[in-house]
Amino acid sequence: MRFLFVAFILLAPPPIKPWLMRTLLGARIGRHVRIGWFAAISAHHIAIGDESEIRALTVISCSGDVAIGRYSIISSFILVYGASDLIIGDHSYVGPQTLINCDERVRIGSYSALGARCMVYTHGSFFPYTEGYWVRFGPVTIGDSVWCAAGVFIHPGVTIGDNVFVNSRSVVTQDVASGEVLEGFPARAVTTMDRLKRSMTPRRRDAAARQILAHFVELGLRRELRLHVQEHDGQVTVQVRGRPYLLLCVPARGAAPSAGDLAGRRVIALVTRPDWRVPGHTHIYPLDLLTYRTPRSNDPIHNALRSFLMRYYGIQLEYSDLSK
């Protein structure tokens, strides 16, 4: 009977999949969870946190438990299978065409990512063990803030610590200490994250926000949306379906825009000023790059910029109010 329920959910329209999983499978599904076309999960217990997404044509079939945290994304064309558990933390990402074998438990921490076409195995064998050949079993653990770039292969029994970067097409055959940068076949440490990461002063964070906004204007507005954009003194104006927009940065230092500056337009703002308050009687959508929060909206430009921040710059923002 459970197989029939899963098959029915696989074919069901996306808007009703969360409800069907709660009703038919007893799954614990958070608010605003999205499950795409021809995607389904089969497991002993299923839990998916608020705002997470399982995209189209993905199948997760585990005999153990499946738990996916808040704001995590499981992309398209992904196959997860095995006799044990899949545990994924908050704000994590599994890229398209990734394969995860869960014959032993696979645990992926928070703010971690597997790029496109990664492979994770917890069991390896083909030649007969009774003829003297090897077989290997072992859980795989990936810590918090780990980025495995495209095409990384992780062997059974590997544990990767926190704050790690594994370069593309690397093969990880042994445990990785926290804070390392690896590449190669087999993967070897080449430097540390502390050496690569620069310290961010308020001035540098302001400069980063300006760079992001300029890139969004060129790639997001001009190239993708084909909009006519005007720029003047660091502010961007654009018309979308007859509605005037103003895009700007609210820097940590210097003058902040007043209510009079913002009146009459819909405003999208990248904010790097601590404890900045939205001026009264203004229609503004702030994307706060210090608290990493933004209001929920259906505004197309606001949502395009939020997606742009995550896709191109690794900046993940939570919604200010989950109740809406």
Please give the Cα distance from 81 to 94 (Å, whole number): 14
Query: What structural domains does the chain harbor?
Result: 2-194 (2.160.10.10), 202-319 (3.40.1350)
**Could you give the strand order of the β-sheet that contains 99-101, starting from the edge strand earlier in sequence?**
40-42, 59-62, 79-82, 99-101, 119-120, 153-154, 171-172
User: Measuring CA to CA, how many Å separate 192 from each of 176, 178, 261?
Assistant: 12, 9, 45
Q: Looking at residue 95, what is its pLDDT?
A: 97
For 90, list phi and psi in degrees, rounded to 5.
-80, 150
Please give the Cα distance from 36 to 276 (Å, whole number): 37
Q: Looking at residue 255, what is its pLDDT?
A: 78
User: Measuring CA to CA, how many Å separate 250 from each of 223, 257, 272, 280?
Assistant: 25, 7, 6, 16
Residues (pLDDT < 70) of the chain are 322-324
Q: Where are the alpha helices (DSSP H) in the chain?
A: 2-11, 17-25, 193-196, 202-215, 259-262, 300-313
Q: Looking at residue 275, what is its pLDDT?
A: 86
Please give the Cα distance from 124 to 151 (Å, whole number): 18
Q: Looking at residue 324, what is its pLDDT?
A: 43
Q: Looking at residue 256, what is its pLDDT?
A: 77
Rg, C-alpha atoms of the chain:
22
CB 261 within 8 A of CB 283: no
pLDDT (tens digit per residue) in 87-127: 999 999 999 999 999 999 999 999 999 999 999 999 999 99
Q: Looking at residue 260, what is its pLDDT?
A: 72
Q: Looking at residue 309, what is its pLDDT?
A: 97
User: Measuring CA to CA, how many Å separate 312 from each of 83, 107, 220, 309?
Assistant: 35, 25, 11, 6
User: What is the per-residue DSSP string for 27-77?
Assistant: -EE-TT-EE-TT-EEE-SEEEE-TT-EE-TT-EEEESSEEEE-TT-EE-SS
Q: Looking at residue 233, what is its pLDDT?
A: 77
